[in-house]
Structure 1
């Protein structure tokens, strides 16, 4: 009996953590991350979340590990690495050097495009989603993927989706930023962080989350809870 395709077990293995297989793609050969064996990866599974399904599980782990540095990155590694190993894959993370093009992968795998804030916007989750890692597979898995008709998040599942921002004329996200940190020239992280240190910033974005992000009407049902929002804002403010 042949081994099952590794993708078949990813969703079930990730489910207890609240994470999910967000998308699959076959990278161009010259851009593919190289595996430890020296072979270029032929298949990439993006692992992440939509909304805050993972948050209660991570929060409980954090209570048990209060002194761990970079807790979300550490937790993500502890969750995804053994799953990748079990599936004979390798794993990379957004914070790893050399940095991998996670945004480019997400655009290829899920058909996403940036919002005016620079964050990728999802047709279902809006701006309330993220990527915690990616599992890399060799050529054997890539060949088998074509035989998988019901893999959740398979390559191109949202490729034809309408970009939510195309029909949004009001652009409330841009109007909501207290310091106009989002412009045609990009995001001014310095202006944003300086504002967060003021009383207005501490009582506003730091406590309730980025006002610009929160103004987007897409995916409101998946908005992060207050504890998760404050965690991410604190991580950003510390740079």
Structure 2
């Protein structure tokens, strides 16, 4: 099994490999590899919108979709699935950092080498073998001189110092806040690496609605 083979399989469901790392004894996951999965932005949203989970009107459609497609891929690949939702809780944030493709940004949200501040993880595959892995990537923040994320929030709710969650939610209830609700968080959009990732605005609106309700 190779990382490229895994990437090819999950691409069938419009997911992509966002990082991977080898386990240690402290993980209690055996001597293998954790492969992190997230949306493949060019096809993920249309694929999800056509799914039964999106259209059945029940709660948590994206989590249910993720569970269905990742469990199926896991079975085909001889892996065990893990998810960033439900119980038990798995440390996806620390897993992301260990992959060498995600880091804390200046505003403390995770930033990814290709997805920028749009990065999101839908699940992980736990492989029983130690796959060959590429070298760690470069943190895009290291070469970002302007760091627009630090000043992008219209009400200063998300800065290098803190995240004022009540101020964020209050702003989203206003007419100017509709811009964030309909096209995505202004801070996440300001990231130059995010702008290369081309997330569909309707997808961002879906996530903002889930965040704000």
The TM-score by the shorter chain falls in which range? 0.7 to 0.9
Question: What residue number does 2:119 align with?
Answer: 129
Instruction: Pick one of 79, 102, 112 that aligns with 1:89.
Output: 79
Question: What residue number does 1:149 align with?
Answer: none
Question: What residue number does 2:151 align with?
Answer: 175
Gaps of 5+ in 1: 34-39, 147-153
Question: What residue number does 1:115 align with?
Answer: 105
Does the aligned pair in 1 maintain the 2:48–2:54 contact within 8 Å? no
Taking a change above 3 Å as real, the CA distance of residues 196 and 106 of structure 1, as seen in their structure-2 partners, is: same
Distance 1:23 1:224 in 2: 19
Question: What residue number does 2:10 align with?
Answer: 14
Question: What residue number does 2:187 align with?
Answer: 212
Does the aligned pair in 1 maintain the 2:21–2:35 contact within 8 Å? yes
1:171-210 to structure 2, matched below 5 A, reads 171-201=147-177, 203-210=178-185
TM-score by length of 1: 0.79
Gaps of 5+ in 2: none
Does the aligned pair in 1 maintain the 2:49–2:55 contact within 8 Å? no
Distance 2:4 2:28 in 1: 22
SS in 2 for 1:127: coil
Question: What residue number does 2:212 align with?
Answer: 237
Aligned residues: 213
SS in 1 for 2:18: strand
TM-score by length of 2: 0.88
Q: CA deviation at 1:208?
A: 2.2
Distance 1:115 1:9 in 2: 31
Q: Which has the higher contact order (CA 8 A, sep 6+)?
A: 1
- Is 1:55 paired with 2:45? yes
Q: CA deviation at 1:7?
A: 4.8
SS in 2 for 1:199: coil
Distance 1:155 1:76 in 2: 26
Alignment RMSD? 2.2
Question: What residue number does 1:66 align with?
Answer: 56
SS in 2 for 1:44: strand
Question: What residue number does 1:78 align with?
Answer: 68
Distance 2:105 2:67 in 1: 28
Structure of higher CA gyration radius: 1
